[in-house]
Amino acid sequence: MAPAGSVKVTFADGDTSCLSGQGFVGFDPNDPDWTVRKIETNNSWGAVVYPGTVDPPTTRCDRNQDVPVNSRLNGIYLNTAS
């Protein structure tokens, strides 16, 4: 599970990153290294943003969740304020 106050991102190659703060964190959807396997939340929440044209589809990540993604993303909206 992600540390308190962060969203833990696990990439397809096994690398992980813990993101915190509020706002949008952008990824490069054209780079296979940015393929996201899953998102873990603790006392935080967010939404993953899939590549799209005008209105990209999103998946909400609520508190205390382990959300499988298995996709390249445009980025993640964060709200890690506790």
* pLDDT at res. 36: 93
The pTM of this model reads 0.83
Instruction: Determine how β-strand 16-19 pairs with β-strand 22-26.
Output: unpaired
**pLDDT tens-place string over residues 21-54:** 888 899 888 888 889 999 998 888 888 888 877 7
Residue found under tokens 């396997």: 37
List the domain boundaries for the chain.
7-79
* Class of the CATH domain delimited by 7-79: mainly beta
pLDDT at 12 over 70: yes
